[in-house]
Structure 1
Amino acid sequence: MVQDTLQFGTVGDDIAGGWLPVVLRGLVVLILTAPAVSKFLRYSDRAANFAAYGIPAPEITVLLVGVAQLFAVVTIAAGAAGRLGALVTVPVMLTAMAVDAVNVFNALVLVGCVGIVLLGTGNYSVWEPFRFGE
Structure 2
Amino acid sequence: MVFKKLSKKDRSTHNITLTNLQLKMEKDKMDKKVIESLTLVFENRLTEMGVEGFQKWLNDLHFRTPEEFLNHDYALAIYDESRSWFEKEVIKLEKETGLPWQEQAEDLKSEDERIRKTQLVLRHRISEMVLDLLG
Q: Normalising by structure 2, what TM-score?
A: 0.28
Larger-Rg structure: 1
Q: Normalising by structure 1, what TM-score?
A: 0.28
